[in-house]
Structure 1
Amino acid sequence: MEEENRGFLRRFVEEFSAPLEEDSLLPVSPLSQRVSLEEMHGESLELGLRLLAARAAPAGLSALLCQTALCHLQQNDLSPFHCPQEAEDNEEEGKEVILLQSEAVQRLFLNKLIDVALAWHKNLPEPPPSPSRFLLCSVHAIKNKRRKMEDKHLALAEFNQLFGIKDGVPRAYYAVFDGHGGVDAATYAATHLHVALSKQQTLQGDAATAFKTAFLHIDETFKGKAKRERLRSGTTGVAVLVQGQELTVAWLGDSQAILVRNGQVVTLMDPHKPDREDEKQRIEDLGGCITFMGCWRVNGTYAVSRAIGDFDQKPYVSGDADCSTTQLFGDEDYVLLACDGFFDSIKPSEVPHMVLDALQQSGEPEDGGDAPLEKSEDTIGLRVAQQLVGHAKEAGSSDNISVMLVFLRPPQQLLSQNATTGPARASQNSTSQDAPQQ
């Protein structure tokens, strides 16, 4: 690993041997034109990770470079990058919000990143221990028959490294967001939710509470951005944190996650849909209604009952996430996260058999499919998500489809186990602790 890190740093400093000049184009485009001081954290990390991923940086080194560069950025006086004060845009819920010129501040961040890389090229620091749990991640996403791609996802096995957490508890974060009315809410959630989660004091002892607080916070901060930029989009989302020997899932809306243990489906969650009896009752108690217009909709508008965004229908469309925590015993196969474009066509009980079939065919390319979004050195399991997306499309899904498969043990073990025991396809419920319904 040290040799790989040194090789990357050598190539990187050859490309970026000097700071970016003030009037030069950035090598990657910022997500926004203006950001708040808080939003700068997530957008800088996203920009740095995107720059480094495009150059095949080792994931652990990439996280450490971005975390260190951000720490250096936060020590700077950022007042030269403040946007002109505009009362209407810079005021949220009675609070003054300082906005920064994104391109200028991100140029400074990238120069900090270049400085760190130059220093580490000369004297590479001792890396922290890598995650102890085997976490190969297979991801695939397609626009399908929709006019636009409004899904976003994030796989972050290096959660601790990215946020400088050194408590000895291994953590990995995975999330899928299914936007509607535009991609802005999904992009915002994919950029900022994990940052908000990392700042929760309850994270180590109570990940479910940390998740709930983080979801509500992101819904609130996106409200400020939506007001400033006149955005009307929303997003459902499902996020998983593997922390030590616990797996915590948090969700809003109808994106879902399932766990497979010894070939059996473990139910982790109940998706929020407008016609779910408790969701219907919650909305009616608030004075709203559920109507059928091709599908069940909240007040005749959105086909989701909980989401980040959709502020014209708050509080009927709630931003209050539900959570469940499941103990990990070491016999778990994988956790699968996907949007409703997958689960509307594929039943959870069908997943284990499909995954085993895909693993057995892992060396064969899928005819007519796009290349996977993410690559790994492991060939076994690499194309599983791609084949699952293909199954959903063949089953009639016309929606955007995103599938993320996080292996909790090496795929080769699953094949070996299946060779002796055969696929198990029964379902069972987890001992989850759902957050109370609103």
Structure 2
Amino acid sequence: MEEADGATRDFLGDLLRDLPVQQEQLRSPNRRVSREEAEGELAEVLLRFLGSRGAPSWLSACLVQASVHQTLEADLSTFLLRNEAADSEEGEQENAERIDYLCSDSLLRRCLSCLQEISSQWQKCLPPITQPACQLNISAHAIRNTRRKMEDRHVAILEFNQLHGITDGVKRSYFAVFDGHGGVDAANYAAAHVHVNVARHESLAQDPGRALKESFQRTDIMFLQKAKRERLRSGTTGVCALLEGERLHVAWLGDSQALLVRQGKYVTLMDPHKPEREDERERIEAMGGCVAFMGCWRVNGTLAVSRAIGDIDQKPYVSGEGDVTSHVLDGSEDFLVLACDGFFDAVSPSEVPDLVFAHLQENGGDGQHVAMRLVKAAKDGGSGDNITVLVVFLRDPLKVLEDFLAQDSREGEPLFDFGGGVEVGSDHAG
């Protein structure tokens, strides 16, 4: 413990030495934010900054929570811009909802000052922070591939409670992949704000699935306000996983997907939102839209997904309401994979266990770069899209490999013959 505390103090000392220079270089990605957006925006900038400096995830989460909380609890009136309406369309200015916007760069400078103050205090006397006894092993990899721009974003928050100041004693971790289209704005926005909306949802403790699902919808509403005032046309699909104690909750919009592998067999958790799905086609047509085949099935001949955050020009046909499924984990689960359609369009679910176990076997149970192996498989399989893969090992990858080898050591059975997958019914609504 003393050694760990010493390493933490050394990190804080290095941070304090360099922070004055970094404060002049860090900028907010937006000129202004609403009060509702401020927490997610500040947390996003600080998490990226501390991550670039190699901060342990638990320390980063605690520093960001303390700094953002201290910033937003203070009087923010000095950061207010002139009142502007959320909707500035012709003829609607007088009746539009009034929103107080804050100057992002000024607010960020205040938050960095709080970070400096807190780091100084903690270097002198560390608070009683409980470091995780064991960490989940995760592997993430993303490539632009042949596309002109990279529009995917992924998020991994191991210490969800610490980041959001939740003290109910239930361990939570959050993972997400967002696949943007028409620009990266919607994906960036979802990456910054969905997890904040989940943490602040009134039903998080009683009904985490509902919190996830409604946080997608809330983020969509928030982004549409931003899209209207800034004339943004982008959208994003998304898949999020919340590990909460012994339960797994997965929510999704569009065709980004999550796949669970249990005892070497893949488990189908969800049904992607595509226009050709019968219920999606009926929903769209009932509102006066259409689903047409133009290379693939598209909403109004435009989008190849039927639900997404953003896509202001295609609302309400492209819905911002997600689906959710929840499952109890029994300890036999190996790993969880979250990925965009650039992966799943080229790699079938049945191939995923083969690829992961082959990688573990070749690397002595080290799963650090397994996501890179999966991304390469998708590219080699013909995907030209952005590809993002996030792998969360639910058990130690070395133990996963050992159990697999023991299970597969029976004479006469091929090494990677898992047979078919298992489909698990969900409690999604949509």
Q: TM tier, shorter chain?
A: over 0.9
Q: What is the aligned counterpart of 1:95 among 94, 97, 117? A: 97
The secondary structure found in structure 2 opposite 1:16 is helix
Q: Identify the residue that residue 165 of structure 2 maps to in structure 1.
A: 164
Shift of 1:48: 1.1
Contact 2:86 2:225 in 1 (8 A): no
Q: Identify the residue that residue 325 of structure 2 maps to in structure 1.
A: 324
The answer to whether the aligner puts 1:69 opposite 2:88 as a matched pair is no
Alpha-carbon distance in 2 for matches of 1:93, 1:310: 24
Q: Identify the residue that residue 111 of structure 1 maps to in structure 2.
A: 113
Alpha-carbon distance in 2 for matches of 1:397, 1:40: 37
Alpha carbons of structure 1 residues 88 and 346: separation in structure 2 relative to 1, 3 Å: closer
Alpha-carbon distance in 2 for matches of 1:301, 1:64: 43
Q: What TM-score do you get using the length of structure 2 for normalisation?
A: 0.93
Contact 2:23 2:112 in 1 (8 A): no
Alpha-carbon distance in 2 for matches of 1:169, 1:86: 40
The secondary structure found in structure 2 opposite 1:250 is strand
Q: What is the aligned counterpart of 1:428 among 400, 408, 422? A: 422
Alpha-carbon distance in 2 for matches of 1:387, 1:291: 35
Q: Identify the residue that residue 55 of structure 2 maps to in structure 1.
A: 57
Alpha-carbon distance in 1 for matches of 2:400, 2:95: 52
Q: Identify the residue that residue 296 of structure 2 maps to in structure 1.
A: 295
Q: What is the aligned counterpart of 1:126 among 128, 131, 135? A: 128
Q: How does 1:339-358 map to 2 (within 5 A)?
A: 339-358=340-359
Q: Identify the residue that residue 395 of structure 1 maps to in structure 2.
A: 381
Q: Identify the residue that residue 338 of structure 1 maps to in structure 2.
A: 339
Unaligned runs of 5+ in 2: 409-415
Alpha carbons of structure 1 residues 280 and 5: separation in structure 2 relative to 1, 3 Å: farther
Q: Identify the residue that residue 141 of structure 2 maps to in structure 1.
A: 140
Alpha carbons of structure 1 residues 434 and 18: separation in structure 2 relative to 1, 3 Å: closer
Q: What is the aligned counterpart of 2:396 among 394, 410, 428? A: 410
Letter in 1 for 2:391: L
Q: What TM-score do you get using the length of structure 1 for normalisation?
A: 0.91
| Paired residue total | 418
Alpha-carbon distance in 2 for matches of 1:11, 1:252: 39
Unaligned runs of 5+ in 1: 364-378
Alpha-carbon distance in 1 for matches of 2:313, 2:43: 30
Alpha carbons of structure 1 residues 14 and 396: separation in structure 2 relative to 1, 3 Å: closer
Contact 2:268 2:423 in 1 (8 A): yes
Alpha-carbon distance in 2 for matches of 1:245, 1:37: 34
Q: What is the aligned counterpart of 1:29 among 24, 27, 30? A: 27
When structure 1 is superposed on structure 2, of 6-15 and 205-214 the one drifting more is: 6-15
CA displacement 1:325-363 (0-9 Å, x = unmatched): 011000100110000000000000110011011112237
Q: Identify the residue that residue 412 of structure 2 maps to in structure 1.
A: none
The answer to whether the aligner puts 1:381 opposite 2:344 as a matched pair is no
The answer to whether the aligner puts 1:13 opposite 2:7 as a matched pair is no
Alpha-carbon distance in 1 for matches of 2:307, 2:144: 23
- RMSD across aligned C-alpha pairs, in angstroms? 2.0
CA displacement 1:36-94 (0-9 Å, x = unmatched): 11111001111111111111111101100110111111221111111123446687983
Letter in 2 for 1:137: I
Q: Identify the residue that residue 217 of structure 1 maps to in structure 2.
A: 218
Alpha-carbon distance in 1 for matches of 2:18, 2:70: 17
Q: Identify the residue that residue 202 of structure 1 maps to in structure 2.
A: 203
Shift of 1:286: 1.0
Q: Identify the residue that residue 228 of structure 1 maps to in structure 2.
A: 229
Shift of 1:425: 4.4
Alpha-carbon distance in 1 for matches of 2:296, 2:133: 43
Shift of 1:14: 4.1
Q: Percent identity?
A: 50
